């Protein structure tokens, strides 16, 4: 039996980060985490492109354009959506998560979901680099592993 397993090696991979400017004090920690993961996995900083967009809702259309370009082995979407008094945050989170899956299926380019979804600011801070790790770091690891799996298939 032959087994295909993704390596956690970013060497030679080209990755695009799509980062929301909304809640930038949180998102910047996600960007740092993603870049740190890429470097720790042997990637070259010159192989990362960072694209800034207004908010999390704009990440998918940008990710789709990047994936369709054929220039990137993986895309990582980074944002922070904190629940307010309305259901708006839930709508954004559901829409972006579904879009990331659809883009990956349509293009064959992995799109990792590094959009933090939190009920309050404290939870968001925890998921952007304190007690609960850094979702940007974790999303980059997933993107690198899946890009390597797909290269082997």
The β-bridge partners of 74 are 15
At residue 89, the pLDDT reads 80
At residue 85, the pLDDT reads 53
pLDDT in tens, 125-147: 999 987 668 999 999 999 999 99
Q: For residues 149 and 144, what is the distance between their CA atoms, to the nearest angstrom?
A: 9
Q: Which fold has domain 15-152?
A: Rossmann fold (3.40.50)
Residues of the chain with pLDDT under 50: none
At residue 6, the pLDDT reads 86
Residues annotated as catalytic (active site), given as ranges: 88
At residue 132, the pLDDT reads 67
At residue 86, the pLDDT reads 60
């Amino acid at each position: 039996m032959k087994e295909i397993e993704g390596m956690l090696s970013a060497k030679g991979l080209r990755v695009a980060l799509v980062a929301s400017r909304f809640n930038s004090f949180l998102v910047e920690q996600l960007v740092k985490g993603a870049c740190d993961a890429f470097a720790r996995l042997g990637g070259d900083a010159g192989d990362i492109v960072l694209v800034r967009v207004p908010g999390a809702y704009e990440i998918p259309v940008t990710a789709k354009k990047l994936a369709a370009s054929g220039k990137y082995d993986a895309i990582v979407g980074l944002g922070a959506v904190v629940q307010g008094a309305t259901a708006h945050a839930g709508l954004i989170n559901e829409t972006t998560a579904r879009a990331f899956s659809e883009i990956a299926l349509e293009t064959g380019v992995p799109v990792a979901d590094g959009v933090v979804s939190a009920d309050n600011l404290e939870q968001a801070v925890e998921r952007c680099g304190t007690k609960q790790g850094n979702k940007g770091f974790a999303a980059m690891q997933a993107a690198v592993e899946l890009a390597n799996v797909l290269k082997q298939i």
